[in-house]
Structure 1
Amino acid sequence: MQILKLAGRRLMSSVPTLLILLAGLFILLQFAPGDTVDALMAQMGGGDPAQAAELRRFYGLEGSAAVRLLDYLWRLVRLDLGFSAIYNKPVATVILERLPATLMLMFSALSFAFFAGMVLGIVSAQRVNGWADTLISLLGLLFYATPSFWLGLMSIVVFSIWLAWLPPGGLYEIGSGATGIWLVLDIARHLVQPTITLALIFLAIYLRIMRASMLEVSTLDFVRTARAKGLTRGEIVRKHVLRNALLPMVTLIGLQAGTMLGGSVVIESVFSLPGIGRLAYESVVQRDLNTLLGIVFVSAIMVILVNFIVDLIYARLDPRIAAGA
């Protein structure tokens, strides 16, 4: 019951954040040069002012910024994200077509970074100042310092061009006609390079956090008591150290969900993945403001949901959180 109370409070506090985010982005976009109609007219090779005015009236781009903002927020209440002039279909349809690729990329990258970082952090903490600790720390620093776009491009050169082990981009092999398990395997094969490229920088952060947390928890009184009782090092790590050391790691998942969404813009562009990150880039280039606002709205909802789940997991790992709800 306490956990549900905590969850409800977290969700209610997210609503003002979402509104401020959308309103702030809407206002900032008003200072950007050009709009959707300008992009359309450029694609058509020009047009007369009357036609431009008619298009602005059709897409709801006339009137003051305050009126358009209130109209947009009212449409959001009815779950109406508007119409995409560039793709000539509702924004919700455009985003739903691209969302699965981004969700698969984020889930696979976050899972790989979390579990690999946790394992490497544990190994590093158990062999502190040894050769394994030094090697893992060096690799973590290297992963953290390497730009993801450069790492992605080098990965394509090595594994796709030189070795021809993995496809250079896309979500699946076009025209292969694969279905069922073969389609799943094909998608998994295409996601190997983007997943590792996106995950490495987060893996470096996780392993450093896990190492520091393990070393800190290992000095606490209850761990010394467990050693005095004669428990083996493996039992102490599994039963006493690991659960407490995981708390900062779980917190970091919620904090990095938004960062990973931002990173997906670069990764999806490098590997030509049809996700909402690449869609956001295309929307900015083509001044498709309705689609861009819809992407921000969906992305904010995703980050809020991830943080909501993290809060529940955190309360489960540390009962003191739920008790203070």
Structure 2
Amino acid sequence: MSVYLGKRLIYMTLILLAASLLIFSLYALTPGDFISGNIKLTPERKAELREIYGLNKPVLERYALWMKNALHGDLGYSLAQQKPVLTLFNEYLWNSFLLAAVSTFFTWVIAVMIGVISAYKQYSWFDTLVLVAVFAAMSLPSFFIGLFLIKIVAVDLKWLPPGGMLTTGSNATGWAYFTEVIHHMTLPVIVMTILGVGSLTRYFRSNMIDVIKQDYIRTARAKGLKEGKVLFSHALRNALLPAITLVGFELPALFGGSLIIEKIFNWPGIGQLYMSSFSLRDYPLLMGFTMLIAVLTVIGTLLSDLLYRLADPRVRLH
């Protein structure tokens, strides 16, 4: 295991170095930036800012300086937001994490339950309805579902707020703050869960169909075990093994936020900040965020491999 971890750490380092060079080069070579696009600045002030932030240096020299600062915990300074990039991450990232973590929990619980029942009742009316609902959820765009629920639930029925994280002007603290956040995040969580349940349910259903046809499932039934124990203790455990590989993609999604959903519901997360940075050409923030997603993706892939080894001792890591 220690040899495997050592090799993986070397590979991860090389991958991240290559990713950092690619990310920096793409943004650095893109025409224009926040300074050149700001019509309020005089040519003299633009030249001064370029000198201060080293934007007039060669690309490789700027990359080396950026990497040196990044290794010391400095991802640069956002000119558009007038704050360090890490400070902005600390302000917005956890809001996206909250939204994504809650929706991911409900997505997996619902997908597992529906997938197991649908596989057990294959070709039944329930299975047919599930397949129709799954393909409907996968085909409808996120902005349509979001705006539709805002119209029905928030505008017409007035059950939930249409957006934001807190009520405008709210000074709630403690339990009142907690309940207000829950109240505001309900609609975006519902939309994100609907969007995620579709593909995941189909994935679990297909895995369960393959597993319940295995000989050891017939043996468990022949021993007289209850059907619920056979499905959830024997079949589901093995059907979940391939799903462990999805963990590597869930980690960056948790911190990356949902760009469209956060924009629709005006949720103050990193996704909405990332979208606004594009129009402002705030490259330090864009580079920092993209690099963060790359790091989380590499870490998530390693975690999925280790979790698969723990779940299935027959797997050998080399």
TM-score range for the pair, normalised by the shorter chain length: over 0.9
- 1:227-255 residue CA offsets vs partner (Å, 9 max, x unmatched): 22222211211221111001122222323
- 1:153-210 residue CA offsets vs partner (Å, 9 max, x unmatched): 1111111111111111111223222111221121112111112212322211111111
Question: Any unmatched runs of 5+ in structure 1?
Answer: none
2:97 aligned counterpart, secondary structure = helix
2-side partners of 1:69 and 1:263: how far apart? Answer: 27
Alignment of 1:18-57 (within 5 A): 18-39=16-37, 41-42=38-39, 44=40, 46-48=41-43, 50-57=44-51
1-side partners of 2:292 and 2:317: how far apart? Answer: 31
Q: State the TM-score, normalized to the length of structure 1.
A: 0.91
Which of 146, 157, 160 is matched with 1:166 structurally?
160
1:319 aligned counterpart, secondary structure = coil
Match of 1:98 in 2: 92
Which of 192, 200, 205 is matched with 2:186 structurally?
192
1-side partners of 2:130 and 2:215: how far apart? Answer: 28
2:163 matched to 1:143? no
2-side partners of 1:109 and 1:9: how far apart? Answer: 34
1-side partners of 2:177 and 2:303: how far apart? Answer: 30
Q: State the TM-score, normalized to the length of structure 2.
A: 0.93
**Corresponding residue pairs, total:** 318
1-side partners of 2:267 and 2:5: how far apart? Answer: 34
Question: Structure 1 residues 23, 312: closer, same or farther in 2, change over 3 A?
Answer: same
RMSD, aligned CA:
2.0
Code of the aligned partner of 1:303: T
The alpha-carbon deviation at position 262 of structure 1 amounts to 6.3
Question: Any unmatched runs of 5+ in structure 2?
Answer: none
Question: Structure 1 residues 176, 301: closer, same or farther in 2, change over 3 A?
Answer: same
- 1:6-46 residue CA offsets vs partner (Å, 9 max, x unmatched): 5555444322222222221221223433112123x32x2x4
Match of 1:16 in 2: 14
Contact 1:264 1:277 survives alignment (8 Å) = yes
The alpha-carbon deviation at position 293 of structure 1 amounts to 1.0
Match of 1:278 in 2: 272
Contact 1:124 1:211 survives alignment (8 Å) = yes
The alpha-carbon deviation at position 55 of structure 1 amounts to 0.7
Match of 1:269 in 2: 263
1:284 aligned counterpart, secondary structure = helix
Alignment of 1:53-72 (within 5 A): 53-72=47-66
The alpha-carbon deviation at position 297 of structure 1 amounts to 2.2
- 1:49-80 residue CA offsets vs partner (Å, 9 max, x unmatched): x3211111112211111211121111111111
Which of 115, 118, 121 is matched with 2:115 structurally?
121
Code of the aligned partner of 1:199: T
Which of 188, 213, 219 is matched with 1:219 structurally?
213
Contact 2:96 2:257 survives alignment (8 Å) = no
1-side partners of 2:171 and 2:3: how far apart? Answer: 49
- 1:118-151 residue CA offsets vs partner (Å, 9 max, x unmatched): 1110110111100110111111110001111121
Contact 1:7 1:312 survives alignment (8 Å) = no
1-side partners of 2:214 and 2:293: how far apart? Answer: 40
2-side partners of 1:315 and 1:7: how far apart? Answer: 13
Question: Structure 1 residues 5, 177: closer, same or farther in 2, change over 3 A?
Answer: farther
Question: Structure 1 residues 14, 194: closer, same or farther in 2, change over 3 A?
Answer: farther
Alignment of 1:285-324 (within 5 A): 285-321=279-315, 323-324=316-317
Question: Structure 1 residues 238, 134: closer, same or farther in 2, change over 3 A?
Answer: same
Contact 1:243 1:317 survives alignment (8 Å) = no
Alignment of 1:193-272 (within 5 A): 193-258=187-252, 264-272=258-266
